[in-house]
Structure 1
Amino acid sequence: MYETVLSPRVSETDGVGHINNTTLPVWFEAARNPLFALFTPDHDFAKWKMVIVKTTLEFISQIYFGQDVEIKVWIKKIGNSSLELYEELHQNGNLCARNIAVYVNYDLQAQKSEKIPEEIRDELKKHLYSADEGTT
């Protein structure tokens, strides 16, 4: 599992006093930086590999400014050219949101998916989701 701690900003707080729902997709994406580095180590967008094709976000509890959030990212499934992530967002030890994201290893110049290399696949396997780790 990959873990990232973020501090909510005032600008992410909405008029009813909690973190706005539009913020969470950005936070989940920020927690994926270690995965992006596996596929494009130099972060060169001309060689970018990971393209998101689906995301399903479930809001469970409100999130507030002034208290850090912890985002956990697991690999739920590894396909030939795609991978499915299972992600959780916690604040004060409480599960506040969960997300499923599907990415494809994609060659932007050829405009087609490509097989996930074995060395990346081996690293991804180290972060496979286990039911005893996550909340789901």
Structure 2
Amino acid sequence: MFKKVIDPRVSETDGAGHINNTTIPVWFESGRDQIFRVFTPSLSFQEWKCVIVKMNVEYVGQIYYGSPVTVMTWISRIGNSSFEVYEEIHQDQKLCAKGNATYVNFNFVTQKSEPIPDEIRNELKPHLLVIKD
């Protein structure tokens, strides 16, 4: 699992007094930074490989300004040229949002997906989500 702590900002708080729902997908993406570095160590957009093709978010509880949140990101599936992540946001030890996203290993020069190389698979495997029955 990858973990990232984020301090909510005043500007992310809406008129209802909680963090706006449009902020959560941005925080989830921020939680994927270490995954992006696995695919593109330089983080150079000229060498970028990860293209998001699908995402969803489920809002479980409200998030407030003034207390840090923890974004937790797991790899939930590794396919031939795509992978999926499962994500959660917690504040004060409470689950507040969860979601998932699908990415494709993409070559911008050829405009086609490419198989995920074995060395990248090996870096992702320790972060696989293990569901216990």
**TM-score of the pair, normalised by structure 2:** 0.98
Aligned residue for 1:104? 104
Counterparts of 1:18-57 in structure 2, within 5 Å, are 18-57=18-57
* Structure 2 match to 1:8: 8
CA RMSD of aligned residues (A): 0.6
How far is 1:47 from its partner?
Answer: 1.2
Aligned AA for 2:87? E
Deviations 1:1-59 (A, max 9, x none): 00000000000000010000000010000010000001111111011100000001000
Letter of the aligned partner of 2:57 in structure 1?
L
Q: CA deviation at 1:131?
A: 2.1
TM-score by length of 1: 0.96
Q: State how far apart, in whole Å, the 2-side matches of 1:103 and 1:110 are.
A: 17
Query: For 1:115, what is the secondary structure of its paired residue?
Result: coil
Structure 2 equivalent of residue 64 of structure 1: 64
Give, in whole Å, the separation in 2 of the partners of 1:78 and 1:16. Answer: 39
- Give the whole-Å Cα distance in 2 for the aligned partners of 1:68 and 1:115: 37
Give 5+ residue unaligned stretches, structure 2: none
List, as ranges, runs of 4+ consecutive aligned residues in structure 1 with deviation greater than 4 Å.
none
Give the AA of the match of 1:80.
N
Distance 2:15 2:39 in 1: 39
Distance 1:97 1:11 in 2: 19
Task: Give secondary structure in 2 for the equivalent of 1:89.
Answer: strand
Kindly indicate whether residue 75 of structure 2 is the aligned counterpart of residue 75 of structure 1: yes
Question: d(CA) in 2 for partners of 1:131 and 1:67?
Answer: 29
- Give distance in 2, aligned partners of 1:41 and 1:123: 12
Secondary structure of 2:52's partner?
Answer: strand
Identity, % of aligned pairs? 56
C-alpha distance in 2 between matches for 1:128 and 1:30 = 18
Counterpart residue type for residue 29 of structure 1 = E
